[in-house]
Amino acid sequence: MMGRTIFIDPGRCIGCQACVSACRECDSHRGKSMIHLDYTDEGSSVASLPTVCMHCEDPVAPCAEVCPADAILVTADGVVQQADTTRCIGCANCVNACPFGVPKIDLQAKLQMKCNLCYDRTAYGLAPMCATVCPTGALFYGTLEELQAERPGVQVADTFVFGESEVRTGVAMVVPAERVQWPVPGGLPVVEINGKDVRR
């Protein structure tokens, strides 16, 4: 896992969308938010969780891998950058490739946009805008040690399974302690029924 990164703790999210607003204020894609806020169980619960770019590590960023124009670069410290404006042809391959549904296409500008971990801020030692403002700490920026120092006993996972494939990510998710040995299901098929893992 990377050094300083974002940790997502859905248990803390109050769905306030401060992260969404803050992302809009960030200079790198000013005016547009690159965060999705998902409501997991509409109609029966107020639960919500934010999705930021997970900065995939292994396999290296599917979005970047499929980009025919080599517009998406991954920095040495593992940050998957948003498409280079001079290269992006707006083909949306990245949108289809991303297992988390993160990149967005501005069709008019023929440009892909996505979270670049506020590179303009993190390069100066500041936290990304979303994790800075998140009133609850559902988005936390720092190292795993810092997270665990502040939230004793917290467990995180950085591996997600989509059917047969596993993706290891640079951004990690806080999970209930007893779940940590399993990768987090990222999509279909269902891996858990009535609390029992049905895959292995």
Partner 1 sequence: MTADPRAADGRTVVPLDPSLAPPGTRGFRDAGGIPADRWHADQNGETLVPTHCCFCGVQCGMYLRVDHGGKVFGVEPRNHDINRMRLCPKGINAYQQVNHPDRLTAPLMRRSRDEELREVSWDEALDFTVSEIKRIQQTHGRDAFGVLGGASLFSEKTYLVGKFARVALKTRHVDYNGRLCMVSAAGANKLAFNIDRAGNPFSDILLTDCLLLAGANVGECFPVLTQYVWGARDRGATLIVIDPRETAVARTADIHVALRSGTDSAFFNSVLNVVIEEGLTDEAYLAAHATGWEEVKANVAQYPPARAAEICGVPAEQIVQVARAFARAPKAMAFHARGIEHHTQGVENCLSVINLCTATGHIGKPGAGYGTLTGQGNGQGGREHGQKADLLPGGRSILNEEHRRQICEVWGIEESELPAAGTSMMEMVWQMQRREIRGLIGICNNPFVSLPNYAVVKEGYDTTEFHAQFDFFLSETAANAHVVFPVTIWAEDEGVMANAEARVVKHNKAQEPPAGVRTDTWAMCEIARRLGAGDKFAFGGSRDVFDELRRASAGTVIDYSGITYERLEETGGISWPCPSTDHPGTPRLFEDGTTYHTDGKIHMQVVEWHPPADPYDDEHPMTLTTGRTVAHFLSGNQTRRLGALVEQTPRPWAEVHPSHGFRNGEPVRVVTRRGSEVFPALVTEAIRPDTVFIPYHWPVPTAANALTIDALDPRSKIPEYKVCACRIEHAATIDEVPAPPVAPGHVAYPETQVSRTDPLPPTAPQGRGTSERS
Which distant-in-sequence residues (6+ apart) come within 8 Å of 109 by Cβ?
A: 90
Q: How many Å apart are CA 130 and CA 138, to the nearest integer?
A: 10
Q: How many CB atoms lie within 10 A of CB 139?
A: 27
Q: How many Å apart are CA 8 and CA 128, to the nearest integer?
A: 13
DSSP state of 44: T
Our CB check for partner 1 shows the closer of 135 and 163 to be 135
Is 159 an interacting residue with respect to partner 1 (CB under 8 A)?
no
Q: Which of 5, 57, 141, 160 binds partner 1 (CB under 8 A)?
A: 141
Our CB check for ligand SF4 shows the closer of 15 and 90 to be 15
Site for partner 1 in 111-130 (CB under 8 A): 125-127, 129
Q: Which of 135, 163, 166, 192 binds partner 1 (CB under 8 A)?
A: 135
CA nearest 24: which of 117, 116, 127, 129? 129
Identity of residue 145 = E
DSSP state of 74: B
Is 49 an interacting residue with respect to partner 1 (CB under 8 A)?
no
CB of 139 to ligand SF4, least distance (A): 5
Identity of residue 154 = V
Question: What residues line the site for ligand SF4 (CB under 6 A)?
Answer: 13-19, 37, 50, 134-136, 138-139
CB of 129 to ligand SF4, least distance (A): 10
Name the site residues for partner 1 (rule: CB under 8 A).
11-18, 20-22, 24-25, 33, 35-39, 42-48, 125-127, 129, 131-137, 140-143, 146-147, 149-152
